[in-house]
Amino acid sequence: MTTYWVSFLDQDRPVGKKATGVVIVEAETPEDAMSAIAQKNLHPGGDPTIDDITHRAPSAEWYDRILTSKDARDVTRLMCIASQDRYEDDDED
């Protein structure tokens, strides 16, 4: 299973308001991720950009919901901290 970060932008919205939300979801493929988002009624509008974040995924509490811009920033910080911790663990070997 792959963990996807799906961010949505609406180019018709004013500058600074284009981001409509982020959804983190587990699926086999990007297409399956978009299907899961649609089935769970989590599409906040706009065009999706899909990134594989499996190797730096946050805790499950952030999955399967629409994240606000603030939530997305918080999760990004947590993912960066987790990635740094993993690299430090690798250095100790």
Predicted confidence (pLDDT) at residue 81 exceeds the cutoff of 90? no
Identify which of 81, 89, 19 has the alpha carbon closest to the alpha carbon of residue 47: 19
pLDDT of residue 6: 97
Tell me the per-residue pLDDT of 36-56, one tens digit each, with 9 for 90 and over: 999 999 999 999 999 999 988
Q: What is the pTM of this model?
A: 0.83
